[in-house]
Amino acid sequence: MLGDLIERRCVDVLQPDVTLTCGITGAARLSKSAAAAGVAFTPHTWGNGIGLLANAHLFAGCGGGPWLEYPIDPPEWTPARRDFMLAEPIKADKKGCITLPDTPGLGIVLDDAKLASRRVT
């Protein structure tokens, strides 16, 4: 469906979220199609830190776009609240840029104690 939107030139900007659409590999294919069609490709994420890291890695790996939209809306929606399951929240610098971790995979380090406290048995 997203490929059809690109092919038919129905959009100027394509903003898939890898956690809700076609995963990292599928979204990477979409980014190539978008680039060939002159459509801006910039992932959109409005979930937790795991989704943010997945979309950010896609964004970086595909050459990026004009921006990466990510969730932050203090005082209610802060990095600490968004990323509660991570050992450390993802923080942006003063320009709004985030630095991707260079650890294996997506660089996700879960906070087992926080997750255990939310376990439903």
User: Would you please indicate which residues are annotated as catalytic (active-site) residues?
Assistant: 44
| Closest residue by Cα to residue 109 from 86, 92, 83 | 86
38: left (phi > 0), else alpha (psi -120 to 50), else beta?
left
Amino acid (one-letter) located at 99: T
| Contact (Cβ atoms closer than 8 angstroms) between residue 6 and residue 14 | yes
Is the C-alpha dihedral spanning 25, 30, 36, 41 positive or negative? negative
